[in-house]
Amino acid sequence: MASSTNAGDREKVVSKLPGWLRQELKVRAAQLGVEIQSAVESGVESWCALASTPGAVDTAGAESFATWLPPGQWSRFRAAAAERDVTLTQGLAQSVRLWLDMNPSPAVKREEFPRRVVVCNQKGGVGKTAVTAGLGEAMAEAADALHPVRVSKYLAAAIQQNGVEGDPFALEDLPGLGMRVLLVDFDPQGHLTKQLGHEPLPMDGDSLTRHMAGEAAGELKDLVVAVEDDRFGDRLHLLPSCNDAFLLDVKLAGVRAREAALERALLAVEEDYDLVVVDCPPSLGLSMDAASYYGRRRPGETAGQSGVLIVVQAEDSSADAYELLTSQIEDLRADLALELDYLGIVVNHYDARRGYIATSSLQAWMDIKDPRVVGLIGDLKEQKEAVRMKRPLLAYAPRCDQSVGMRALAREIS
């Protein structure tokens, strides 16, 4: 059915499509950045131009579907359907299927070597582990499904509430990034490992620490475990912690070129991933030097592709810790002539109801500009519940504000 009501110079068309085909159309249009009505228009045009009728599409359970087409196109489509002796529902389904076949999903871009994000702050309790996990989960979500995202370009305006057209808190369903992600639990406390439902590696076995110290007892890839959930497929993996990481700084003191020890160890598994996210310990020791070195810009790598992501809270002690961390990073840059990029600041556990301390501290972070604030994650119950359940946050509560914020962060630094 076509209606004379129009949007611009188009006419409204109402027919039917099966739910599975409508969802595939919605996802593909989002992946390619085109409007659904434009996709349907193109599909109908191509279908009408075919010399013969394509294979039938299963339209069982088809439900009402409305879109806008150019004037006259629906009439031509109806005539073609009558000539081919197919129902309008079947013809429309074939048209959509044809467009999908002619416009395949874009492949996930694979870099020469993986991006490396070092999540750090020498102050404990700011939520580095939660941000590490959430960022990795957001990067690994399926590219053939839609997930709610708060559009990252509105981040600063959403915080400051000034001068953005439209709702800065609006959500948009976007395809996942579909990246192959390795989360590295580089903290001897092992919180990341435990939160994702795994146990730390045994002290008497192989570990990342042993590989960094030149005492490896096997292949590093054999220590990697999968974070299992359908939304991540087999794209999200974890290198668990081991309690021997408490000894890492002592062991590194006797290692040649110790600042490169983490890189030497992880090179053995890098080719399997698009992104490696390192959850750092709350310290400024030799292990932090090694983590920072790992995040450096490699020859031929684009600026801002890898680097350090600093997690803070909107309170004064985070500011003090930030100064210590950035001083260490600047010293490392100078001493080793590193190109080490700041990917940004994530303000975590934010709650404006805490009043002036929180809001004024947030403004102070926003005023830094370089590095800029790239994420604002609320202090809500879902993260704590996910930790208690030992499940990834984006699997436990995929539509909660914290999950939405993690996806925005992923896009902001991707």
Type of residue numbered 66? A
pTM of the model: 0.83
Position of tokens 């031509």?
76
- Whether the pLDDT of residue 7 is over 60: the answer is no
Q: Which among 265, 259, 172, 254 has a CA at the least distance from the CA of 217?
A: 265
CA distance 311 to 193: 19
Over residues 62-73, the pLDDT tens digits come to 999 999 999 999
Percent of the chain exceeding pLDDT 90 equals: 56
Query: What pLDDT was estimated at residue 122?
Result: 76
- Whether the pLDDT of residue 88 is over 50: the answer is yes
Beta bridge partners of residue 225, listed in sequence order: 238
User: Which helix (H) or strand (E) is 397 found in, with range?
Assistant: none
In sequence order, which residues have a C-beta less than 8 Å from that of residue 356 and are 6 or more positions away? none
Across 146-153, average pLDDT: 73
Across 299-326, average pLDDT: 86
Phi-psi region of 85 (alpha: psi -120 to 50; beta: other; left: phi over 0): left
- Whether the pLDDT of residue 1 is over 80: the answer is no
Percent of the chain exceeding pLDDT 70 equals: 93
CA distance 112 to 116: 12
Token duo for residue 314: 């909107």
Decide if 141 contacts 178 (C-beta within 8 A). yes
Residue 169 — pLDDT band, cuts 50, 70, 90?
low
CA distance 406 to 410: 6
- Whether the pLDDT of residue 256 is over 90: the answer is no
Residue 358 — pLDDT band, cuts 50, 70, 90?
confident
Question: What sign results for the dihedral spanned by CA atoms 306, 311, 316, 321?
Answer: negative
CA distance 130 to 309: 13
Residue 58 — pLDDT band, cuts 50, 70, 90?
very high
* Residue 281 CB neighbour total at 10 angstroms: 23
- Whether the pLDDT of residue 360 is over 90: the answer is no
List of long-range contacts for 222-228, beta carbons under 8 Å, 24+ apart = 224/182, 224/269, 225/198, 227/137, 227/183, 227/196, 227/197, 227/392
Over residues 205-242, the pLDDT tens digits come to 999 989 998 888 899 999 999 999 999 999 999 999 98
Across 278-282, average pLDDT: 90
Across 362-374, average pLDDT: 87
CA distance 309 to 295: 10
3-state DSSP assignment of residue 203: coil
Decide if 208 contacts 287 (C-beta within 8 A). no
Which has more confidence, 82 or 113?
82
- Whether the pLDDT of residue 96 is over 90: the answer is yes
CA distance 18 to 34: 21
DSSP 296-342: SPPTTPPTTSSEEEEEEESSHHHHHHHHHHHHHHHHHHHHHT----E
The burial class, CB within 10 Å (0-12 / 13-18 / 19+), for 222 is exposed
Residue 183: C-alpha distances to residues 142, 189, 214, 227, 292 (Å): 17, 15, 22, 10, 16
Residue 121 — pLDDT band, cuts 50, 70, 90?
confident
Residue 59 — pLDDT band, cuts 50, 70, 90?
very high
- Whether the pLDDT of residue 164 is over 50: the answer is no
Percentages of the chain per state (helix, strand, coil), in multiples of 5: 45, 20, 35
Position of tokens 């005492």?
215
Beta bridge partners of residue 307, listed in sequence order: 117
- Whether the pLDDT of residue 163 is over 70: the answer is no
Residue 278 — pLDDT band, cuts 50, 70, 90?
very high
Which has more confidence, 26 or 336?
26
Residue 167 — pLDDT band, cuts 50, 70, 90?
low
The burial class, CB within 10 Å (0-12 / 13-18 / 19+), for 35 is exposed
Query: What pLDDT was estimated at residue 325?
Result: 81
Residue 165 — pLDDT band, cuts 50, 70, 90?
very low
